[in-house]
Chains A and B, each alone.
Chain A
Amino acid sequence: MCRDDALELSLTRVFWITLKRDLMLAYRRRNDLISPLMFFLMVATLFPLGVSPDPQFLSQAAAGIVWVAALLATLLSMDSLFRSDYDDGSLEQMLLSPQPLALLVFAKICAHWMISGLPLTLMAPLLAVMLFLPEQGMSAMVISLLLGTPTLSLIGAIGAGLTVGLRKGGVLISLLVLPLYIPVLIFGTGTVQAASAGLPVGGYLAILGAILALGMVLAPLAVAASLRISVSD
């Protein structure tokens, strides 16, 4: 058998197996999955109560509320990405595997997005309706979240990788990662606002897509390097 073929096959296989493993782990602890979603839902529910239930005002603020809530919910779930693997030694085994670490990390990030960003995106239309988002902004909201939340997971993973060796990494992750989240937030809410005003959104989506493409290529490499640093102490 050709060695290169076998290698390529095993790379695809190891990606799927790692993805499946992380999804299975999440499924077996499904109570943990609910907390970011609950957070997301609570922010959107409490906001009208705390500020103003006026539909006019809410339809103006809806894009921002949903995006900020999604961003913070992702950030909350980030710390757990490598925590349990670090604590039980699975991370050491990943580092010592001959398989490329960036690939394993990418699989883990994909799994993380599927259990955090994707449900948030699916839930967003519901919240948008609650917040009187204009109808023409709805699809832009979903598409912008679909492009934006994977970027949030990818960037957050860098922070998670750097802080996993520290006992109290939670606050530090926010400090490290929030500045990098800001462009995603600006273009994300920009998309929805433009769509609500009936303006074209192609440019915004292109920029969100470009950030995502950049993140997909570079973030796994950065995360792999940060994990090596965290484990080597």
Chain B
Amino acid sequence: MTTPLLEVKDLFCERDERVLFAGLCFALNPGEIIQVEGPNGSGKTTLLRILSGLSQSFEGDIFLKGEPIAEVRDEFLASLLYFGHLPGVKATLTPEENLRWYCALHPHTRIEGISMALSNVGLYGYEDVPCHSLSAGQNRRVSLARLYLSEAPLWVLDEPFTAIDKRGVARKEALIARHAEQGGSVILTTHHELGIHDNLRRVSLGAPQENADVQG
């Protein structure tokens, strides 16, 4: 049996005196996709922020390839791609400048693939337009272009399909499925019914107070 890429043991998180989840355990193996489900306010974003290391307000253990993530922080950050609610796109910079800076921050990215990535997300011809003149969906696409640049095995995606049109969603789903086929792992939240069925598991965060359970 292989060691899971990311393993969560007995995770407990409380927010504003409400228990969001308690005793949450799951493992994310290479080649697997986990969709975190649950109603609004059930702690999906909080869970992903904890998994990405942004939030420290939790109890329990998170392991990367069997090692606690606090001990292998550099390796963890190098193998992580986090896509949050906020796109991380500077309005006064152009899409290309935004991605260049992202590539500088993250060594495991293909800086030469920027124009390819932009055309893959349908922004060909918009490379030199400042992001404030792009639409909300296009700004999300600038951020999503990172998925094409990154070589990180672990993708943590929080609502990646918000404000993306149908065709765009289909392409992103294909991209996520391909990432999993190539041995990468994805954990994502979305209210959208995923068109991916291979290697997909669901983690349900119930209404607050109830324990979360994992379905195989």
Contacts and interface: CB of A to CB of B under 8 A. Distances in A.
B145 to A, nearest CB: 13
Q: Interface of chain B, helix or strand or loop or mixed?
A: loop
Given A25-B92, A88-B91, A90-B90, A13 B56 contact: no
Given A96-B52, A98-B107, A21 B80 contact: no
A232 B88 contact: no
Contact of B104 (A14, A84, A232, A233): A14
Chain A interface size band reads 20 to 34
Interface residues of B, number: 30
Contacts of A233: 55, 57
B101 A96 contact: no
B55 A232 contact: yes
Given A17-B104, A98-B107, A28 B54 contact: no
B77 A97 contact: yes
Given A97-B106, A232-B54, A92 B86 contact: yes
A231 B88 contact: no
Interface in A201-233: 231-233
B68 interface: no
A18 interface: yes
Given A25-B90, A25-B93, A98-B74, A92 B54 contact: yes
A2 B102 CA distance: 24
A52 interface: no
B104 A13 contact: yes
B54 A231 contact: yes
A98 B101 contact: no
A17 B82 CA distance: 21
A25 B131 CA distance: 12
Contact of A88 (B52, B54, B88, B97): B88
15 contacts: A14-B104, A17-B104, A18-B101, A25-B90, A28-B92, A28-B93, A28-B130, A88-B89, A92-B86, A93-B82, A94-B105, A98-B74, A98-B107, A232-B54, A233-B57
